[in-house]
Amino acid sequence: MSEVIKEPRNGCALHGALQTVQEIKGVVPVIHANAGCGVIHYLANKGTSGGNSSYSGLSIPGTAIQERHVIFGGASRLREQIKNTIKVVKGDLYVILNSCESAMVGDDVDAMTREIVEQGEPVLDTLVAGFNGGPYYGYEHVMADIFRTIDGVKPSEKKTDPYLVNILGIIPGKDPYWQGNLEEIKRILEGIGLKVNVFFGPYGGVRDLINAKNAALTINFSRWGELPARILEEWYEIPILQRPSLPLGTEQVLDLATAVAETIHIDEERIKSFFGNEEVYENDLLLRAREDLIEYDNSQTAVLVGDEEQVIRLGRFLNDFLGKEIKAVILTDALKTDEEHVTDNQELLKEITDSIYITSDQKKIEDIIRSEKPEVIFGSSLEKRIANRLEIPVVETSYPVFEKLILNKADAGIRGTISFMEEYITVVNQYEAEKRKQLLSYVKGEKGGKLWQEQSQKRSYSKKLTLVTQSQTKESLSARM
Amino acid sequence: MSFLEDRRALTREKRLSSLSHFNGTLEALIDEVSGTDIRQRIRTFSQIHADEIIYAFDVLSKIEDAEIIVNGSIGCAGIGLAETDENYTWYGTNLVERDTILGGEEKLREAVLRAFEEKHPKAIFIIGTPVVAINNDDINSVILELEEELHIPVISIYTDGFKSKNPVSGYDIVTHSLLKYLVDKEAEEKEDFINVISFSENVEDIAAVVKILNALEISYRVIPRFSEIDEIRSISRAKATVVLNPEEGEYLAKELEEVYNIPYILSEPPIGYRGTKNFILKLADFLNIGEKAESYIEEVEEELAKGIKKDLLEGQKVFVDASLSKIPSYTRFLKNLGAEIVGFGAPFVDLENRKNLQKLDFLPRNTPVVIGNGQYFEKVNAIAKQKADFYISQYPGNAFAVDEGAVVVSTVNRVTYGFEGVQSLHDSFLRAFRRKGKLQSNSNYKTGWKTKSGNWYVKQEVS
């Protein structure tokens, strides 16, 4: 049963599908919806951290359906839109995204796509409607639909590469650090001798989508890649390595490498030498921050707010590395009942904390934080309000992050350990500096206040003294006279 | 005639024959829109664009003591993230497939009650979305019941996202609801302030106008953007109304004039020297403070002249993209700085704002015009053909023009109003010169399209 949500942060299935395809180089999204659906997604993300891809915002082709299409159907409008999109806009693959309206009206989007594909054009569609679910649903379904149909529109011979892996489970934009994180995972996997299909960002593209069937393994880093991973498994017999989250810290990364090595042969020497170097790098830099960590007493109690994957990744690291007490985690993506996924991270989450909440309602999130009384929050910019009220710092690690540009900074892998600690210590330092400023002005105010009071009291006391003395003198004088 | 008897505002298309598709010359456009109604056109290729839900939400979200409920699928409520102010809150009814079949009234009720209990607002606005409109949910019975219970106005904003191509219809829908359900109808006595109507202006522009009004000691209320519910109630007691962008706020001003006898001071957006001067003088004329206004203008202009390079844009080709009300001021100002105006774009032209085309007598009759809300592909075509050096736009997401070789000047986060705006626009161009040839990437558009007529995908509607 769905509920009313205060300040919903996630968007809908269409938005998820859109933010997925617009981050794959060479893909042109075509939105079959009323004019504003895609613009809402654009405006919602304009103030957040990831920058804009080349087919984003008002440049996205869309049918902008009108009342008549709602009444009489919008299929013919879609047909002319696809035909002309190919004439106007450059692209290697055109992906049609469905919407609430076209689902409610019942447009035969598939038939329109088939018609144009028969003409040899690289077009495919996904039948995601906004009300079907959140952006996670949109990501899974659009990726699954792409893997189902890409070979039909971009045929190529299957040639398995024993060192090629597909990376799934990280939704562009939903992880504010997605660009840096994918880059870091690619760096690590290449470091141990693998090749990587990242699909998204500067190293991704349509080529990766075509090439996905040739991989020897799909690594899925959250529950949200299960469906597309399963399609690759069923259609192309690519085994799946299901991980609860991206790794953070050398230990976790090594654990990932060991798990990968169960399916793909990796030279042990290569792993050793790679991790040897990485460990030195991570240790050297992290140890530089020790004094800050100790002096600012960075083992505060914390509440984590974000997607399940982020919460597990950061929660484990904060526990293992800093010995933090995680008072509660609030999962903003997971569903209370989830029959579509086999992933069950309850045990892992319980190792982090006993208090596990699932909600994206801002009122509930704030109430939980208030009752848990943490000393620091790891969450989104939306948690700033409650953080300010409770006078505690918030480290922005989950979507949405406002007023920041995050392009290649990571908070996963090994380099991500360093940048995560940088961000964390910076936020705490700034918060402490602000607190010191306030304390200083309090101390000055207090001191100044007392001085003023004392001085004014002294003045009036001495005045009284004078008066008394004068009158006494007068009296004594008169008595003498 | 007052529209207050109607349940909801008519779309711009129905009320004013608003046209959102035209690609041709200034002369052809003037000819096309000169009749009693304007023949509609259709694009057979289009790009996504803002709709009235977005515009309505934007203006309502700036009202301080009201709460907004977006009644629709969860994605529609995502628009709330566009407002990054920490103190701002909103709710989404989060309608799912089941609600699209059985109706979402119960969730709407729950949302209104929650908003009331948690925030104690002075009014609650319910924004309609496509799912609710298609489903025809009975919002009114929920409202009737809850108004009685809560004793605050619960107001339906009848947006649906697909009945109008013109997002400004969203401002009309908000206007209609504010006048019908909020504004004080018993206002006999007038008070000493004027309504300054703003729907879309950024805070920078409002600040510039406020500085002018303060300098002239004019008391005012900015409505409805950045206002409070009680201020909106009081607009029927104002002694006059002025509109910052007439094509957005004229509907409200005219209705106030008709129903409450509040004079509407006709003016133009305060952009450029002449636009700003006209704006101030029209106000001053009504308020009988002409002398004061003239000496203010003289003083500010004298100071301003020192910082303006009069031939800044000499020999530069500029394409201007702004609302039609602003096009005369922008093009005149840029032309006076030496620019050659090689075309302009505007989101719509209707029976009211078409008067702006007549003011463009200083432009050649064959100046290219693109009428379209967004539709950057058509602007790409025009910029590429005209080899524009500069593209100035008030709309977001305009990096595309850089890829066509133009330097982009954006007014999104900049002040454009008042004399302050004159300096700011001038300085923006000055800085933009330094970006010439920079930040460019590959165009997203096929060369074939850029050499075609920009009118290629526009056809006349068959009725």
From start to end of A237-375, where are the E strands?
A: 240-242, 301-306, 325-331, 356-358
Q: How many CA atoms lie within 13 A of B58 on its CB side?
A: 22
A37 within some domain: yes
Does position B224 have pLDDT exceeding 50, yes or no? yes
Interface contact A399, partner B, CB < 8 A: no
% chain A with pLDDT above 70: 93
* A46–B396 CB contact, under 8 Å: yes
Our CA-based measurement puts residue A420 at a distance from the nearest CA of chain B, in whole angstroms, of 24
Residues of A in contact with B126 (CB under 8 A): none
By the CB < 8 Å criterion, does A64 face chain B? yes
Residue B342 Ramachandran class (φ > 0 left, ψ -120 to 50 alpha, else beta)? alpha
Measured between CA atoms, how close is B350 to chain A, in angstroms? Answer: 19
pLDDT tens digits, B438-457: 999 999 999 999 999 988 88
Give the residue from chain B lying closest to A401, CA to CA: B84
**Helix residue ranges per DSSP H, B306-375:** 327-336, 355-358
Mean pLDDT of A13-23: 96
- A192-241 confidence digits (pLDDT tens): 999 999 999 999 999 999 999 999 999 999 999 999 999 999 999 999 99
Residue A182 within a domain: no
Domain boundary among A387, A403, A419: A419
Decide if B118 and A363 are in contact by the 8 Å CB cutoff.
yes
Taking the model in full, what pTM does it have?
Answer: 0.94
Q: A371 CA to chain B: closest CA distance, Å?
A: 17
Domain count across chain A: 2
Best of A1, A65, A88, A370 to disrupt the B interface (most B CBs within 10 Å) is: A88
Across the range B22-31, mean pLDDT stands at: 96
Burial tier of A287 (Cβ tally within 10 Å: 0-12, 13-18, 19+): exposed
Average pLDDT over chain A reads 91
pLDDT of residue A31: 97
Sign of the CA dihedral running B444, B446, B451, B457: negative
CB A393 within 8 A of CB A376: yes
Residue A410 sits in a domain whose CATH number is 3.40.50.1980
Contacts of A31 in chain B (CB under 8 A): 48
Whether the CB of A249 is below 8 Å from some CB of chain B: the reply is no
Residues of chain B positioned with their CB less than 8 A from the CB of A128: none
**pLDDT value, residue A464:** 45
Closest CA to A242 of A261, A219, A217, A224: A219
Say which of A11, A34, A47 has its CB closest to residue B161.
A34
Strands B41-43 and B458-460: antiparallel
Domain residues for the domain of A135 are 1-153
Contact B169, B11 (CB under 8 A): yes
Q: How far apart are CA B404 and CA B388, in angstroms?
A: 9
Q: DSSP characters for B15-62?
A: HH--B--EEEEHHHHHHHT-SSS---EEESS-B----HHHHHHHHHTT
CB contact under 8 A, A36 and B49: yes
Q: Which residue of B has its CA nearest to A76?
A: B44
Give the pLDDT score at A477: 40
Residue A1 lies in a domain: yes
- What's the DSSP call for residue A383? G
pLDDT of residue A2: 74
Q: Which domains does chain B have, with CATH numbers?
A: 52-163 (3.40.50.1980), 194-303 (3.40.50.1980), 309-460 (3.40.50.1980)
Quote the minimal CA–CA distance from A246 to chain B in Å.
27
User: Span B306-320, mean pLDDT?
Assistant: 96
Q: What is the pLDDT of residues A54-65, one digit of tens each?
A: 889 999 999 999
Please indicate, yes or no, if residue A5 is contained in any of the structural domains: yes
Mean pLDDT of B194-215: 97
Q: What's the rounded Cα separation, in Å, for the pair B352 and B360?
A: 16
pLDDT of residue A322: 86
- Minimal Cα distance from B379: which residue of A? A59
Closest partner residue to B162 (CB to CB) among A14, A70, A384 is A70
* pLDDT number for residue A453: 56
Nearest chain A residue (CA) to B67: A6
**pLDDT tens digits for range A382-437:** 999 999 999 999 999 999 999 999 999 999 999 999 999 999 999 999 999 999 99
On the CB side of B243, CA atoms within 13 Å amount to 24
Judge: A34–B162 Cβ closer than 8 Å, yes or no: yes
- Residue A402 is assigned to a structural domain of this protein: yes
Distance from CA of B28 to the nearest CA of A (A): 25
Q: Does the pLDDT value for residue A461 go beyond 80? A: no
Burial of A399 (0-12, 13-18, 19+ CB in 10 A): buried
Q: Is the pLDDT of residue A456 over 70?
A: no
Between chains, do A44 and B399 touch, taking CB under 8 Å as contact? no
Point out the residue among A41, A90, A104 whose CB comes nearest to the CB of B446.
Answer: A90
- Do A35 and A62 contact (CB within 8 A), yes or no? yes
Range with lowest mean pLDDT among A84-88, A321-325, B259-263, B338-342: A321-325
Bridge-based pairing state of the strands B66-71 and B123-128: parallel
Does the pLDDT value for residue A445 go beyond 90?
no
Q: A404, A419, A434: which is the final residue of a domain?
A: A419
Residue A24 lies in a domain: yes
Q: pLDDT per residue over B97-134, tens digit each?
A: 889 888 899 999 999 999 999 999 999 999 999 999 99
Residue A430 lies in a domain: no
Q: Per the CB < 8 Å rule, is A100 touching B80?
A: no
Asked whether the predicted pLDDT for residue B346 surpasses 50, the reply is: yes
A304 touches chain B (CB under 8 A): no
Which residues in chain A are closer than 8 Å to B101, comparing Cβ atoms?
none
Say if the Cβ atoms of B75 and A41 lie within 8 Å.
Answer: yes
What are the tens digits of pLDDT across the range A225-235? 999 999 999 99
Of A119, A136, A153, the last residue of a domain is: A153
pLDDT at B325 over 70: yes
**Do A3 and B94 count as a contact with CB atoms less than 8 A apart?**
yes
Q: What CA–CA distances, in Å, run from B426 to A197, B309, B311?
A: 48, 8, 11
pLDDT category, A449, cuts 50, 70, 90? low
ipTM above 0.90, yes or no: yes
| A15, A129, A403: residue with CB nearest B84 | A403
Query: Hey, are the CB atoms on B96 and A46 less than 8 Å from each other?
Result: no
Nearest to B91 among A6, A59, A80 (CB): A6
| Residue A16 clears pLDDT 50, i.e. is over it | yes
Whether A202 is in a domain gets the answer no
| Amino acid (one-letter) located at A63 | T
